[in-house]
């Protein structure tokens, strides 16, 4: 296969070969992605997105014991306390009952914070979709994951990269037989721009709406292997049901 378990353990989705950011990206404008969350277990290991004042959405393959986790909101430079951060303990985690760690189908979880976040210019939830994205829509992926495709370097400042939603045909063509209705590809067939290890669970945001969760991919930003994201629109019934049941 393509080392899905390794990808899952590292926190996976893809990066850029010739450029030196998230892979192929740039430093995000400071607090320009106010929904971005760093999930921390003594160090940053996955991303997430704030969807209301007490809930975070991330990838199921980022699961850890909730009592070992701290969710950091309002961060930019991950090693410097800038006075904008909110450090939140996690009360409970709910992952999709159909999640398959081998195929990464239904790769989604919701994390309930132990208390409500303070919403301000640095910490704001992202909107959830009311419809699915269209091929060609331009989106922003953000995270503190690896910024190289062929070596490891994790940046201090939050990185962003702009990538388009790919057609179902191109997505399936890159990963024959591995793409389900809960997945969407974003990136370029020529490679060069992608998310990577450490970006897992983080947001793919198109027109201010969360359409994807960084999930998996072969390598980072490699030609013909775009990043694969959990397709949020396809899981809205589960999201709404979980929020209603446990809020």
Place of tokens 């393509």: 2
Cβ of 241: how many Cβ atoms within 10 Å?
10
pLDDT at position 152, please?
A: 62
- If asked whether residues 217 and 194 sit together in one domain, one would say yes
Assess whether pLDDT exceeds 50 at residue 1: no
The domain tally of the chain equals: 2
Contact 75, 202 (CB under 8 A): no
In a domain, 154, yes or no: yes
Catalytic residue status for 215: no
Assess whether pLDDT exceeds 70 at residue 7: no
- If asked whether residues 140 and 204 sit together in one domain, one would say yes
Express each pLDDT in 147-175 by its tens digit. 766 656 667 899 999 999 999 999 999 99
Assess whether pLDDT exceeds 70 at residue 92: yes
Catalytic residue status for 149: no
- If asked whether residues 142 and 223 sit together in one domain, one would say yes
In a domain, 2, yes or no: no
Contact 171, 136 (CB under 8 A): no
Express each pLDDT in 110-130 by its tens digit. 999 999 999 999 999 999 999
- If asked whether residues 40 and 131 sit together in one domain, one would say no
- If asked whether residues 82 and 151 sit together in one domain, one would say no
Assess whether pLDDT exceeds 70 at residue 182: yes
The active-site residue, picked from 19, 75, 107, 194, is 107
The active-site residue, picked from 38, 142, 200, 215, is 200
- If asked whether residues 222 and 138 sit together in one domain, one would say yes
Residue 102 sits in a domain whose CATH number is: 2.40.10.10
As a whole-number percent, the residues of the chain with pLDDT over 70 amount to: 89
- If asked whether residues 42 and 108 sit together in one domain, one would say yes
Assess whether pLDDT exceeds 70 at residue 73: yes
Q: Rounded to an integer, what distance in angstroms lies between the CA atom of residue 55 and that of residue 216?
A: 23
- If asked whether residues 76 and 198 sit together in one domain, one would say no
Range of the domain at 102: 34-125+235-246
- If asked whether residues 145 and 189 sit together in one domain, one would say yes
- If asked whether residues 115 and 188 sit together in one domain, one would say no
Catalytic residue status for 200: yes
Express each pLDDT in 8-56 by its tens digit. 333 333 333 333 347 899 999 999 999 999 999 999 999 999 999 999 9
| Mean residue pLDDT across the chain | 90
Q: Rounded to an integer, what distance in angstroms lies between the CA atom of residue 105 and that of residue 103?
A: 5
- If asked whether residues 150 and 221 sit together in one domain, one would say yes
As a whole-number percent, the residues of the chain with pLDDT over 90 amount to: 82
The active-site residue, picked from 44, 61, 76, 211, is 61
Contact 144, 44 (CB under 8 A): yes
In a domain, 14, yes or no: no
pLDDT at position 104, please?
A: 98
- If asked whether residues 91 and 108 sit together in one domain, one would say yes
In a domain, 73, yes or no: yes
């Amino acid at each position: 296969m393509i080392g899905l378990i390794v990808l899952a353990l590292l926190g996976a989705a893809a990066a850029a070969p010739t450029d030196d950011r998230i892979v192929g990206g740039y430093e995000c404008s400071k607090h320009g992605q106010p929904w971005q969350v760093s999930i921390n277990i003594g160090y940053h290991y996955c991303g997430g997105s704030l969807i209301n004042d007490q809930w975070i959405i991330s990838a199921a393959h980022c699961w850890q014991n909730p009592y070992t986790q701290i969710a950091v909101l309002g961060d930019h430079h991950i090693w410097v306390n800038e006075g904008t951060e909110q450090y939140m303990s996690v009360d409970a985690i709910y992952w999709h009952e159909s999640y398959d760690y081998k195929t990464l189908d239904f790769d989604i979880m919701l994390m309930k914070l132990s208390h409500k976040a303070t919403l301000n210019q640095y910490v704001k939830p992202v909107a959830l979709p009311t419809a699915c994205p269209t091929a060609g829509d331009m989106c922003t992926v953000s995270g503190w994951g690896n910024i190289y495709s062929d070596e490891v370097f994790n940046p201090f400042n939050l990185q962003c990269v702009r990538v388009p939603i790919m057609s179902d045909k191109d997505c399936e063509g890159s990963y024959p037989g591995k793409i389900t209705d809960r997945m969407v590809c974003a990136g370029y067939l020529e490679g060069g721009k992608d998310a990577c290890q450490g970006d897992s669970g983080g947001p793919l945001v198109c027109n201010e709406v969360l359409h994807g969760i960084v999930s998996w991919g072969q390598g980072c930003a490699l030609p013909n292997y775009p990043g694969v994201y959990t397709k949020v629109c396809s899981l809205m019934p589960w999201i709404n049901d979980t929020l209603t049941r446990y809020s």
